Chain A
Amino acid sequence: MSHEQSDRKDDLIERYNAAERINHWIVAGTFVLLALSGLALFHPSMFWLTNLFGGGPWTRILHPFVGVVMFVAFVWLALRLWRFNMFESRDTEWMKKIGDVLNNREENLPEVGRYNAGQKLLFFVMVLCMLGLLLSGIVIWRAYFAFYFPIWVIRLASDVHAVCAFVLICGIITHIYAAIWIKGSVRAMTRGTVTRGWAWKHHRAWYKQLNK
């Protein structure tokens, strides 16, 4: 622990260090590029998004390389955060009280550790989707790999890629919304710190652990 701070109300707790924040925003930035370029090729109504990438062929060329960057960055993120995302018995209770969660009645919820059950669920959904996207993405990477696979594998991979991307995008929409909804969260990823009150309210078990 550092010693320079006194017992002031506005003193802060570090939630993510600089490396974790940079890593997170690499994943986030590549995700946005991948979602836009992927949706462009997924539905004709969004093909115009290829213009953001320099046209259809450039979109096709860039998408898989950006995907590799996202996967590598995500692996680091997942390894860093893995141990905080193990399910505990109190997560079941939290899940059962999802109605209280959605209605801002946190006083009815069990104490939450570094991550709540929803965040943990999202974490493992992300892990599965990322793996699914990488494996299926390699199979349908026409320029380098597709010719190694029989046609039924390519067709299956096309489905897997679309389904995983769909789940990932919905998951990230939820993730972004949660950050907007729970005030004081965004600064954890922009400045690295949260207020004591924030930690007390939303992640009390984590807060208590920090202050043992």
Chain B
Amino acid sequence: MALQSLDIKRRSATTLPSPSVREAHTGDVAKLIDVSKCIGCKACQTACMEWNDLRDEVGENVGVYDNPRDLSADSWTLMRFTEYENPKGDLEWLIRKDGCMHCEDPGCLKACPSPGAIVQYANGIVDFHEENCIGCGYCITGCPFNIPRISQKDHKAYKCTLCSDRVAVGLEPACVKTCPTGAIMFGTKDAMKDQAAERIEDLKSRGFDNAGLYDPAGVGGTHVMYVLHHADKPSLYHGLPDNPRISPMVTFWKGIAKPLGVAAMAFTAIAGFFHYIKTGPNETTEEDEEQAHRYDASRKGRGSDGEKGVVTHEEV
């Protein structure tokens, strides 16, 4: 077993458990993004580029602050800006740092057909190991948050790693380190929940009655959590899913269909084998040949052409 901080808890397309005697007793990790403290400076995007050596193509201004326009294989995090007019008629500028949520129950990992292309470390981080990626895009199909992107350069899937390499050596993710307002925090999940609870109390005291933590239970909780001023309506924040969960269509495909399908196919073949053992072959006998010829002869006798030889069905 390699670096303890990178112990693997779950591995894609693997039917048996990973080595699990050594557990993360200090708890799993989480990134907490306090949306109410974000000023939309995009320093996190820059830090991400810098640490991960990513340089997306320079795009075009399409009249919004979102830059680039969308996540890509080269942009693993992105500030998404929403102009929300609240019931009082005031404008609220909601800015959400989008990126992988590092689900405790990751839809990407469930959907991936390639062993070890997607892993979940004991600390909860979900990571893509691109050297094992085959580029099928099933992770996109499985993800409830629309995060993974296939690179046009190498046809492999990429997303935020939660700086698993930094976390492995006791550092915080690059976006956390650089955030000038402290809107992005990092620590154990428990510590981040405590931190969030304080922030939520503070927000409520300032009139945000619906402030709350976004740690959706539908995906088993996430290792990237948001403090939202409108936790009752997550979708206000540029379509953050209100109740994300792995789609039942994916659960069927990657759940019950796999063992049942394989078993039924094997059963079909086995049933054939035993049918043969029980009943034996269905053979044509001399008697059949003679009957066929007797029939032909009777046709001839009745004055039809009675010709023999190779007959083609084209003539039917």
Contacts and interface: CB of A to CB of B under 8 A. Distances in A.
Interface in A34-78: 39-47, 50, 55-57, 59-60
Contacts of B262: 39, 42-43, 45-46
Interface residues of B, number: 64
B261 A162 contact: yes
A5 B309 contact: yes
Task: Specify the main secondary structure of chain B where it touches its partner.
Answer: helix
A1 B286 CA distance: 25
Contact of B309 (A1, A43, A114, A166): A1
Contact of B134 (A9, A57, A154, A177): A57
Interface string A10-30: 011111010000000000000
B265 A56 contact: no
Interface string B267-279: 0110010011001
Interface stretch (A86-94, A120-128, A197-205): A197-205
B141 interface: yes
Contact of A60 (B135, B265, B309): B135
Interface stretch (B160-168, B220-228, B291-299): B291-299
B113 A114 contact: no
Contacts of A138: none
A181 interface: yes
Given A1-B309, A102-B275, A42 B289 contact: no
B281 interface: yes
B304 interface: yes
A2 interface: yes
A199 B292 contact: yes
Interface of A: 1-9, 11-15, 17, 39-47, 50, 55-57, 59-60, 84, 102-104, 106, 114, 140, 142-143, 146, 151-152, 154-156, 158-159, 162-163, 166, 169-170, 173-174, 177, 180-184, 193, 195-202, 206-212
